[in-house]
Amino acid sequence: SKYDETPVKCSSLADVDERAVQRYRQMRKKVDPDAVELEYATPELLSALGCTSRENPQELNMAGILLFGNELAIKRACARARVDYIRILGNDWHAVADQFDAVDTYAPIFLIVDKLMSIIYGELTTRHRFHRDSIQPETEMFPVEVMREAIVNMLMHRDYRHGQYT
């Protein structure tokens, strides 16, 4: 079977981060306010989305853990799912490898997208212009849709079986 359908032994519906389920519901409602699955209770919703084991609907599969699992469940089932956002000073990684700031997190994909958007978009939208007497920040609008698409693609197309950096 596919990796995302692999049952996660010793997992249960108690491993679900309800904030991720609520975020899914918000996003789904924007696309189709009348979607039938919006009426489902969480266990039925996860089953309908293919996020539970076929053999045991009380057990999550890898998709369920990665999309909706809480931090502890993600660490336990797929330690490689950690997302690191690393800021370096300058533009040469090797020259300043000891001068960096990192944000690392384990979170369900439905929540981590917003967190990464906040971090990255906040840094990319401001640039500074030199004026006669001062340096002033100037806001440029970086297309939110483009950044969201890039982050979602990075997370959804990543191979979680291998511990490689993204």
Q: Are 47 and 61 within 8 A, CB to CB?
A: no
pLDDT digits (tens, 9 = 90+) for 50-96: 999 999 999 999 999 999 999 999 999 988 888 888 777 766 666 66
Question: Which residues touch 63 (CB under 8 Å, ≥6 apart)?
Answer: 4, 5, 49, 50, 51
Q: Is 76 exposed, middle or buried (0-12, 13-18, 19+ CB in 10 A)?
A: middle
Residue whose C-alpha is closest to residue 124's, from 97, 102, 146, 95: 146
Helices (H) and strands (E) in the chain, counts: 6, 4
pLDDT of residue 141: 61
d(CA 147, CA 123): 12
Please give the pLDDT value at position 156: 86
- What average pLDDT score do residues 26-30 get? 96
Q: How far apart (Å, rounded) are the C-alpha atoms in residues 39 and 21?
A: 12
Tell me the C-alpha distance between 79 and 45, whole Å.
25
pLDDT for the residue numbered 93:
64
For residues 43 and 164, the model is more confident at 43
What three-state secondary structure class fits 162? coil
Q: For 133-145, what is each residue's pLDDT tens digit?
A: 666 555 556 678 8
- Indicate if the pLDDT at residue 8 is higher than 90: yes
What pTM did the predictor assign? Answer: 0.80
Q: Each residue of 97-152: pLDDT tens digit?
A: 666 777 778 899 999 999 998 888 777 655 556 666 666 555 556 678 888 899 99
